[in-house]
Amino acid sequence: MFPAISAIANLGMVYLAELLNVNHWLFIALFALMTLFLFYVLEKKGGTRRDRAAE
């Protein structure tokens, strides 16, 4: 397991889009869509926090 991690660490400063071998704009768009989907799911769930001061 360590040689696999060491091989990734020896690549230097690389971005996740480069590691996945995709265009950086495609990666940004997919990340934005995933973020919006997450906010949508959290909004639909409706899990609001209770106010502790009111208890």
Helices (H), the chain: 2-9, 16-20, 24-45
Output the pLDDT for position 53: 67
pTM: 0.59
Tracing tokens 């909004």 back to the chain, one arrives at 43
In this structure, the dihedral spanned by the alpha carbons of residues 19, 20, 25 and 31, taken in order and rounded to 10 degrees, is: -110
Q: Could you report the per-residue pLDDT of 5-53, keeping only the tens digit for each?
A: 777 677 778 888 888 889 999 999 999 999 999 999 988 887 666 666 6
CB 20, CB 27: distance < 8 Å: yes
Output the pLDDT for position 6: 78
How many C-alpha atoms does 21 have within 13 Å on its Cβ side? 0
Query: Tell me, what amino acid is at 47?
Result: G
